[in-house]
Amino acid sequence: MYPTTLTQLARANPFSAPLFTLQKAGEPETHSPVQKRRLAAAATAESADSCEFGSGKYYALCGFGGILSCGITHTAVVPLDLVKCRLQVDPAKYKSIFNGFSITIREDGVRGLAKGWAPTFIGYSMQGLCKFGFYEVFKIMYGDLLGEKCYFWLQFACFERTVELLYKYVVPKPRSECSKSEQLVVTFVAGYIGEPDL
């Protein structure tokens, strides 16, 4: 039996720290130096479409997501990048973006807008594969090394230090002179950029 439904929902929140696990009331706490997490990614554990958090399939799916998100999006903007580069190289010939598109289509056809798509797709796909895949590997590895308590204090320290730095270098007035809504924005930004996602 869980202490309360609210506690259960809060601990099951997907945006909370991934190191925390649900524990039934009355169960003895386990104190091992490194606790493994048992979570399901993208589906419930009972679903056939699920994969275990930290498994080979999980890392493969993260890497595939990186390929899709980086490779496809960067390849989609190749025509714009091509015309931008031509504008920079020959501003006398290409007067504007729209003029650049017109000249490129007139001289090379519509297929001419896709010049350079293959290296862009391959390069950014590999970047996405490594960025998304290795991020997950190291997030889990370092999270397991730190442990739950250290992870919590690391989050707290990073958040607090980020708040201090924002007030020192970004916000043009002291915290005491900021309105509640301005303080809320600073807190939100600090939570977004200053909390390590291990």
Q: Which domain holds residue 174?
A: 147-198
- Domain annotation covers residue 1: no
Asked whether residue 59 falls in the same domain as residue 111, the answer is yes
CA 125 to chain centre: 16
- Domain annotation covers residue 18: no
Q: What is the pLDDT along the chain (198 residues), one digit of tens a residue?
A: 445 554 555 555 444 444 444 455 555 555 545 555 554 444 445 556 678 888 889 899 999 999 999 999 999 999 999 999 999 999 999 999 999 999 999 999 999 999 999 999 999 999 999 999 898 888 888 878 877 777 778 778 888 898 999 999 999 998 899 999 999 999 988 888 866 554
Cα 88 from Cα 117, distance rounded (Å):
19
Residue 171 in 3-state DSSP? coil
What domain count does the chain have? 2
- Domain annotation covers residue 183: yes
Asked whether residue 124 falls in the same domain as residue 134, the answer is yes
Asked whether residue 187 falls in the same domain as residue 118, the answer is no
Q: What is the dihedral of CA 105, 111, 115, 117, to 10 degrees?
A: 130
